[in-house]
Amino acid sequence: MALLVKKSRIPGAGKGLFTTKPYKKDQRIIEYRGEIIEWKEYSNRVKENKDGYLFFVRRNLCIDAFSTLQYKARYANDAQGFVRVKGLNNNCVYETEGDRCFIVSTRNIKAGEEIFVDYTRDYWKVMRHNINLIKKQELKKNKNQAKKK
């Protein structure tokens, strides 16, 4: 496979997915693989802070790549996420086919480019909501600790 995992060009994103060969527009780059679970199981993992690399295929089918480090698709970042870098734009989308998910190029991609895939607005909306919940929980915890002193 012509993909490498190395430090992302997006600050704070950690690792990113890079290609070592060119891809043409509308070409499948890699399948998004991982553990196949139901949404209820994923919800339980979120409650236990074990959430991570989820792709929601349909109502009762999710692909969770959190514990499957060998599958490189999980390292594709969204250039339109919380941290944006001028000149970096998404060059791929997720496409499903039955129970499977693929990262597909939306333009020609040159060898050496980082693969950026659109996580969708809904994803980032949920992430903002979750961050706000965590902040509220931490604030409440700090207030309770202050009262005990």
Tokens of 31: 């399948």
**Distance from C-alpha of 118 to C-alpha of 109, rounded to nearest angstrom:** 15
Q: Measure Cα distances from 74 to 77, 86, 139 in Å.
A: 8, 23, 32
Could you give the 3-state DSSP secondary structure of residue 72?
A: helix
Question: What is the 8-class DSSP label of residue 74?
Answer: G
- Kindly give the parts of the chain with pLDDT less than 50: none
Counting every residue, how long is the chain? 149
Which pLDDT score, from 0 to 100, does residue 149 have?
A: 64
Tokens of 67: 């514990």
- For residues 84-113, one letter each, b for 16 or more C-beta atoms within 10 angstroms of the residue's C-beta and e for the rest, the string is eeeebebbbebeeeeeebbbbbeeebeeeb
pTM for this predicted structure: 0.81
pLDDT tens track for 77-120 = 999 988 889 999 999 999 999 889 999 999 999 999 999 999 88
